[in-house]
Structure 1
Amino acid sequence: MDDVKKLLKEAAIQIGSGGSAGFVEVCIMHPLDLIKTRLQIQSGKVIGKTSDPHLYSGIVDCMKKMYRHEGLTSFWKGIIPPILAETPKRAVKFFTFEQYKRFFLFGSPTPTPLTFSLAGLGAGTTEAILVNPFEVVKVTMQANRATGKELPSTWSVTRQIIKEHGFGLRGLNKGVTATIARNGVFNMVYFGFYHSVKGYFAEYEDPIKEFFRKVGIGFLSGTLGSCINIPFDVAKSRIQGPQPVPGQIKYRSTLGSVMIVYKEEGFRALYKGLLPKVLRLGPGGAIMLVVYDYTHHYLSARFAD
């Protein structure tokens, strides 16, 4: 009975810490996620400056046009789905990561880099399946170029998707394989790198130095994961975003979408949105890990036997 109680308490602490980490990260970093999505769903090449409010030559151009034509609140379009999703999403990610770690020890008394990487892959896959419907709604809202007052609500967008396409692979679960590939690869690198590298740098007794140690390693982990998984992120945005010709589905499968983008737009197009993605998930990765670590430490001390 004591073992069950201890397990439940550990699970509650992991879930609470992960949920807190996700909520803080999404509130701070959402505008960069929106800019990343806008750049990724934009097909073709934009050379030089253009006055078209729907075409962006880069991050700054996107920010200026969104502010000018859609207003300041446009930078938080589609934030409700990730807020609703991030608490359970991050909670599931960090909780399942701890559970997968035990499974992938392969007889070793302590976790190895392979353990951390495979546990991250498992956690990312689990997270992706849970969060994909929220991603579909979020991308649909982020692609909408209406001003704040004209923008449909999260619930109305969700109802429209369900009414027109249902819950299947053309509806709320559209692009689920791309989301699995994106999240699985990211978390494999993210957790694998963070926990493997962290052991090579001794902890500081000074809390400020220790804080920056964790932030630095978390930033590198998020940046590396972002650089490796972005082709899957581009495929996901193309599949879940508006199709080039209404009524015709051009982007269907993950690998098929990657190949279409590569053939029609070149290799660099597979890295569209990389800079805003890194600007978001580099510091975002650091924020999540640091908030998780400190919240986990606080809750563990608060509810210690």
Structure 2
Amino acid sequence: MSLDGKEGSPPDRSTKQSSGTLSSLPPQVAVQTNPTSWYADTRNLLSDPVVAAFIAGGVAGAVSRTIVSPLERLKILLQVQNAGRNDYKLSISKALIKMWKEEGWRGFMRGNGTNCIRIVPYSAVQFGSYSIYKKFAEPYPGGEMTPLSRLVCGGLAGITSVSVTYPLDIVRTRLSIQSASFSELKHDPGRKLPGMFQTMRVMYRTEGGIIALYRGIVPTVAGVAPYVGLNFMTYESVRKYLTPEGDANPSPYRKLLAGAISGAVAQTCTYPFDVLRRRFQINTMSGLGYRYTSIWDAIRVIVTQEGIRGLYKGIVPNLLKVAPSMASSWLSFELTRDLFISLGDKGA
């Protein structure tokens, strides 16, 4: 069974002819024949693999990000903390305790609302567009794709999703650090940023218009394309390997394992791009000490001042985040997608 939830088989000419005949019927005839056809049409629409993947992707994104919100925020705080600051230079457990003592539960969840607003369309577009792109790479509907095809389709899906939702991502980064315990920001409350939409308006008016909302998108795309490509390629490959012979699907536990492995592999390979993305997103914020002129300048400065480890700041909490995040994401995606696809089977 492929990731669109349906078994693949070579095309059959008789099927094509019959479906073509049905599709040629005027919609008025269908309405007159079946008064409840709108209900059946809705079920058929929701059971379409692309639509089901789009909806399931949004659900998967919200579930996975909420589960790991505290680690996600800690990762961002570590990424944007330069060599001269030690506010969060602690063990992961102590850093989380510090966050809890200073900001409470809201500190753990700060930026998660914005993150969910971003991740729902981001994840929906990612999974939905992957389902579209893979149609061009499959030898036949539902057919087996090569690892390279999965990598390319996943990369294109990543580029599509990040291009649509990037302004929400840069605002989320600003919101995540606005109340953190960085000394300059902590002792000058007047410099804290407003809410999500106010932040977006302020950035648009004072930092260069639409360009400000897409600052850092180049390293983001450079990191997201291989990350998403590796994620899809690794997950489908591991999923297939973990599926017992003769079964169409692995157990939920095996799906969780496949998701955790795919996330860890993809994140480790592309993490430096994520650090560069965060640094560029706050490049113009006063009090944080970053003034990069280009990607290569950022790499040079980071390596010179912070060493190679500077490109991997925050990777430990991020890897701890990736396992439950990607595991829950893939499992909730498949469960939700299969639920919607089954609507078509029930309506048949």
The TM-score, its normalising length taken from structure 1, stands at 0.86
SS in 2 for 1:145: coil
Q: Does the CA contact (< 8 Å) of 1:124 and 1:184 recur in 2?
A: yes
| RMSD between aligned residues | 3.1
Aligned to 1:83: 116
Counterpart of 2:81 (choices 33, 36, 42) is 42
Q: Does the CA contact (< 8 Å) of 1:230 and 1:271 recur in 2?
A: yes
Query: Distance in 2 between the 1:153 and 1:97 partners?
Result: 33
Alignment of 1:26-105 (within 5 A): 26-44=65-83, 54-105=87-138
Query: Distance in 2 between the 1:282 and 1:167 partners?
Result: 37
Aligned to 1:153: 195
Query: Distance in 2 between the 1:166 and 1:61 partners?
Result: 39
- Cα distance change, pair 55–293 in 1 and its aligned pair in 2 (3 A): closer
CA positional deviation for 1:205: 9.3
Letter in 2 for 1:79: N
SS in 1 for 2:242: coil
Q: Is it true that 1:128 corresponds to 2:162 in the alignment? A: yes
Query: Distance in 2 between the 1:27 and 1:71 partners?
Result: 16
Q: Does the CA contact (< 8 Å) of 2:158 and 2:229 recur in 1?
A: yes
Q: Does the CA contact (< 8 Å) of 2:49 and 2:131 recur in 1?
A: no
Q: Is it true that 1:211 corresponds to 2:252 in the alignment? A: yes
CA positional deviation for 1:60: 2.5
Query: Distance in 1 between the 2:172 and 2:73 partners?
Result: 9
Aligned to 1:298: 339
Aligned to 2:242: 201
Query: Distance in 2 between the 1:247 and 1:62 partners?
Result: 19
Letter in 2 for 1:95: G
CA positional deviation for 1:151: 7.2
Q: Does the CA contact (< 8 Å) of 1:232 and 1:258 recur in 2?
A: no
Q: Is it true that 1:20 corresponds to 2:53 in the alignment? A: no
CA positional deviation for 1:295: 0.8
Letter in 1 for 2:105: L
What fraction of aligned residue pairs are identical, expressed as a percent? Answer: 26
Aligned to 2:3: none
Aligned to 1:164: 206
Q: Structure 2 regions of 5+ residues with no counterpart? A: 1-19, 25-40, 182-188
Letter in 2 for 1:87: V
Q: Is it true that 1:229 corresponds to 2:257 in the alignment? A: no
Deviates more, 1:103-112 or 1:230-239: 103-112
CA positional deviation for 1:168: 2.9
- Cα distance change, pair 146–271 in 1 and its aligned pair in 2 (3 A): closer
Q: Does the CA contact (< 8 Å) of 2:50 and 2:132 recur in 1?
A: no
Alignment of 1:133-148 (within 5 A): 133-145=167-179
Letter in 2 for 1:29: V
Give deviations 1:216-257, integer Å, cap 9, x for gaps.
011000111111111001101111125586598612433432
Give deviations 1:8-41, integer Å, cap 9, x for gaps.
8333211111111111112211221110000000
CA positional deviation for 1:45: 6.3
SS in 1 for 2:68: helix
Q: Does the CA contact (< 8 Å) of 1:167 and 1:173 recur in 2?
A: no
Query: Distance in 1 between the 2:196 and 2:88 partners?
Result: 25
- Cα distance change, pair 216–251 in 1 and its aligned pair in 2 (3 A): same
Give deviations 1:235-286, integer Å, cap 9, x for gaps.
0111112558659861243343223211221111111110111122222111
- Cα distance change, pair 207–61 in 1 and its aligned pair in 2 (3 A): farther
Q: Does the CA contact (< 8 Å) of 1:232 and 1:254 recur in 2?
A: no
Aligned to 1:116: 150
Q: Does the CA contact (< 8 Å) of 1:77 and 1:142 recur in 2?
A: yes
CA positional deviation for 1:198: 1.8
Q: Structure 1 regions of 5+ residues with no counterpart? A: none
Q: Does the CA contact (< 8 Å) of 2:193 and 2:199 recur in 1?
A: no
Query: Distance in 2 between the 1:10 and 1:90 partners?
Result: 15
The TM-score, its normalising length taken from structure 2, stands at 0.76
CA positional deviation for 1:302: 1.9
CA positional deviation for 1:138: 0.5
CA positional deviation for 1:288: 1.0
